[in-house]
Structure 1
Amino acid sequence: MADSITIPPSIPPAMEVAPPAAELTADSQSRPRNRGPPLNQIYALPAPIRTFPLPSFYPSNPISLFHLVYTWMKQVLSPPPAEPSIIHTGIWDPDSRSVHITDPTAVRAFWEQGFYGKGNLSRSEPNWLKREQIRRGAVEGDVSEQRTALRREERRQVKWERARTEQEALERTRREEAELAVTVAPVLSKAPLLSKAPVGPLEQLALPNCAAQSTAPSPRENIVARETSVIFKAPVGPLELLALPNSAGEIQPPLTATVLPESLAPELITAVADVVEASLDIAPVATTLIPGSKHALEMPDAAEAQPPKRRKSVRFSATVESTTFLHHDPPSPDRSVVVARCKGAAVKQDDKASAPPVSSRINSPPKVTAVIENKEHLQLSAEEAFFLAYGIGALSILDPDTKMPIPREKLLGLFRSHSYFPPRQELQPSDPFLVHYAVYHHFRSLGWVPRHGIKFGVDWMLYTRGPVFDHAEFGLIVMPSYSHSWWKENGIEAPRKSWHWLHGVNRVLSHVLKSLVLVYVDVPPPHIFDAAMAAGGVSAALKEYKVREFMVRRWSSNRNR
């Protein structure tokens, strides 16, 4: 199918090597993909704990009352185990200011039960080991990164096909206009000219009873000549410039035969010819022996010389050996699974019966049975780690030096000090960790899945269920607010943002179909925060932070009347 498509000569070379999108999508749609169990079953738990709620009671259904009483009596007589039943461990890393989870069971548990953290060798989901096994051919399947790359490749093919169609339509329109100009030119030449008042010096000189006769063509002749003339494109490359007339590139320097001693073998003479061609930067020529010239090299004539091409010569040993790569040669085949599927779709049906597909002959990795070591770990941010350790209790963070669990009060001070760079010892209620954790805890408690949003220039991205199910709908920017009178008396104000900054962030999020939410956090003064910490600990201190949300939308006079 790819051989029957005609590419216009004006299309860039980069487009000519790309196959159409129909071949890619046909092969990808025909091949069934084994995705495993459904996503709702894998990510059934929204948190790394299990809950045992009582069934609902419906007054219109008396049987629901018996079901409710039976479940309640069962939990009273045989209570379920305390949750969290499994407490995982992590190690605090002060260099990256994060908590590292190395246990594979804990990594999958935190990701599948709440989407906590990210893989240090992956974009989001920690699946480096599976990607490596697929790349080496140990297992079959695909991962999210490969599916994303396949979708991007399909979109690129669709854009290439659209550009090719537009280019063909443009060339067809130009040919129709040229044919129309040739057809209309004789009619315009025979049509009577309407006399118009002279408006220029040449027209005034062309009037009758004038001593000077102008040789300039009339305006209608200019129009006909311009429409019937051949349109030449301006030269844009070095080869086009050399092909212009009166160019010094057309003059070929005289080539003389080089006489070599008879002791040299013909194979060495052929290799020397390759070196000479590479040094002269000319096209490859056939090397033969001139009779009676003692192994002389036959050089091409000026009329048979090819246009110069860019060449690259690589030598691998002391003897004269070279491997030449031309500029127009195709690149080496990629070893990725995505390109293998793309190239496998271009194989003809009749070739498939006689030869194996391209993906199995070239791009399929060899089967290996060696055990692959998992070099990836889960990386939790300070807010995520503190929520799992304090809010849920499913994580125990160890000290990197003593390998002992860090208490919650000391862990809070550790995260607060490392929220600055370099770490500080003098802490305030307005520490970045406390302000951001108040927002993180607030939205996690409401059932949202907040994740870092540095990719889109915001502090947090809000997912309804998680990155596996849908895209983030909102982008959060945390704004500390000092509304208490103590802050004003001490001359402390919130950092001010400009309208240019706000419009820039809003425009970025609107391009990716997300809404901007400004989250204001009322920071308590130091004496209130310290009193709450002394009275009720971390829980009482966090209650002093108030969270307010404001959604920002672009106002348009045409749409919002």
Structure 2
Amino acid sequence: MSLITPNKRPGSQKSGARRGENSRIYAHPLPLELVQAPPSWSAYILQLFGISGPRVLNPHCVGVYDAETRSVWVTNARDMMILWRRGFFGKGDLSRSEPSWRTRQISARKAAGKYLTAEEIREKRRAERKQFKLDRAAAMAQAAAEAEAAFAEGRRAEITTVIPSGATWKPQKSATDELPSTPPAEQAKEFDESTVPELEHLQLTLQEAFFLTWTLDCLTVLDPITSEPMTLEQIWSVCRDAYRPSQIPPSLSDVYSNRFDNPFLVNYAAYHYYRSLGWVIKGGIKFCVDMLLYKRGPVFHHAEFAVVVLPVYEDPTDQESSPFDLANASPFSWTWLSTVNRVNSQVQKTLILTYVTIPAQTRISTELLNSPACLAHYSVRDVVLRRFIPARMRD
């Protein structure tokens, strides 16, 4: 009897011994939890009348709006862990993704002079790769100089310089690599974790904050001036006005507010579309795109899809009178498209062109912009674009 395993996409799933632990920690896809009532005769009788049943635990997290960064800051450690572990919302301002700055600082101080932390190993490898490139460039320049000298003398070139390769090159160890970074007296001291302050906060984009506030009702946004909770209407107004220039006359305020092509509305339409389908969304600026789509989250798999948001005006005259310079609203060149597609193909991501149709100003009243009801008039269409590689796609 033989087991037939399906072909897995290389690099699509992150390996590691903590895979089972991650499945337990990140078991909830959203900051909501269904709690089943314990079985009993009273609960059974109440269920017959539709009175009792599973209860939804909705943890209310608190964040503060920051106008300069166009984001919402969550500073409470409990709220940060809830939003990150239940849906991977936000990003630590001192971390690459998960808000783990304090944990990394504690690990670094405990490992001082004893072993290398993950960050130190990463920096060491980067330094080694940089040194390898320098050594290879120097060897190639020396070999070229020897060839030119032999050609000038009219003799056959005999190149003695060995050009290093990635398989044979080894970094040179210095005497300082063997020394501990801290004296033995300091190593013997017990480290007090309470001395490390919590300086990091979870930073939510406006799209994430409004989705948590409006759709899930698990986030309370505070006004940065009064520290009072903002109503949904105030949050909606703040998100729309975030892309309005601060130095404009009051007479032009309505020009920026009463527009269906507001950057927040366009990006939120695409964000809500994919989030409602169960995808985990993270920023994609690293790969020249707007969003990255994860099936479960960045701790389980690498992102499989890269999304570029393309605004499309239902009425072309609205684009001519628009005060916003929306990215990718104008026709893009094939060079740009080929470049983005090639970048994402190299990292095994499928490029998706997401077209968000902006309703015409003449067809819909601008009074709908005062509430999220206007989002029903946006349409989202996605086109999958794959790079054809003849040598690889024959089989």
TM-score of the aligned structures, taking structure 2 as reference length? 0.70
- How many aligned positions are there? 330
Deviation, 1:416, is 1.8
Deviation, 1:126, is 0.5
Does residue 432 of structure 1 match 2:267? no
Return the letter of the residue paired with 1:40: S
Alpha carbons 1:136, 1:367 under 8 Å: kept: no
For the residue of structure 1 that corresponds to 2:272, the secondary structure is helix
Return the letter of the residue paired with 1:444: R
For the residue of structure 2 that corresponds to 1:397, the secondary structure is strand
Does residue 393 of structure 1 match 2:224? no
- The structure with the largest alpha-carbon Rg is 1
Deviation, 1:35, is 5.5
- 1:470 is matched with which residue? 301
2:89 & 2:50 partners in 1: Cα distance? 33
- 1:508 is matched with which residue? 343
> After superposition, what is the alpha-carbon deviation per residue over 1:267-290, rounded to whole angstroms, capped at 9, x for unaligned?
xxxxxxxxxxxxxxxxxxxxxxxx
Alpha carbons 1:529, 1:541 under 8 Å: kept: no
2:183 & 2:242 partners in 1: Cα distance? 51
Does residue 104 of structure 1 match 2:77? yes
- 1:482 is matched with which residue? 313
2:366 to 506, 518, 530: 530
Deviation, 1:508, is 1.1
Pair 1:392–1:136, CA change in 2 (3 A): same
- 2:86 is matched with which residue? 113
| Gaps in structure 1 of 5+ consecutive residues | 1-32, 55-68, 165-224, 235-327, 337-358
1:554 & 1:365 partners in 2: Cα distance? 57
Pair 1:160–1:332, CA change in 2 (3 A): closer
> After superposition, what is the alpha-carbon deviation per residue over 1:199-244, rounded to whole angstroms, capped at 9, x for unaligned?
xxxxxxxxxxxxxxxxxxxxxxxxxx979xxx5758xxxxxxxxxx
1:368 to 187, 191, 196: 191
For the residue of structure 1 that corresponds to 2:352, the secondary structure is strand
Deviation, 1:505, is 0.9
- 1:40 is matched with which residue? 23
> After superposition, what is the alpha-carbon deviation per residue over 1:94-125, rounded to whole angstroms, capped at 9, x for unaligned?
11111111111100000000000011111110
Does residue 548 of structure 1 match 2:384? no
1:487 & 1:390 partners in 2: Cα distance? 28
Alpha carbons 1:529, 1:544 under 8 Å: kept: no
1:43 & 1:71 partners in 2: Cα distance? 34
1:121 & 1:399 partners in 2: Cα distance? 23
Alpha carbons 1:135, 1:365 under 8 Å: kept: no
Using the TM superposition, name which of 110-119 and 126-135 deviates more: 126-135
1:490 & 1:546 partners in 2: Cα distance? 21
Q: Show the 5 A alignment for 1:71-470.
A: 73=47, 76-81=50-55, 83-84=57-58, 86-137=59-110, 146-147=117-118, 150=121, 231=158, 330-331=175-176, 366-369=189-192, 371=194, 372-420=196-244, 422=246, 425=253, 426-427=256-257, 428-470=259-301
For the residue of structure 1 that corresponds to 2:220, the secondary structure is strand
Deviation, 1:81, is 4.4
1:491 & 1:135 partners in 2: Cα distance? 51
| Gaps in structure 2 of 5+ consecutive residues | 1-15, 38-42, 136-154, 162-172
TM-score of the aligned structures, taking structure 1 as reference length? 0.51
For the residue of structure 2 that corresponds to 1:46, the secondary structure is coil
> After superposition, what is the alpha-carbon deviation per residue over 1:335-359, rounded to whole angstroms, capped at 9, x for unaligned?
78xxxxxxxxxxxxxxxxxxxxxx9
Pair 1:529–1:441, CA change in 2 (3 A): farther
Deviation, 1:551, is 1.2
Pair 1:73–1:363, CA change in 2 (3 A): same
Pair 1:499–1:334, CA change in 2 (3 A): farther
Return the letter of the residue paired with 1:117: G
- RMSD of equivalent CA atoms: 4.4
- 1:346 is matched with which residue? none
2:333 & 2:308 partners in 1: Cα distance? 14
The percentage of counterpart residues that share the same residue type is: 35
Does residue 518 of structure 1 match 2:342? no
2:19 & 2:335 partners in 1: Cα distance? 47
For the residue of structure 2 that corresponds to 1:476, the secondary structure is strand
Deviation, 1:76, is 3.3
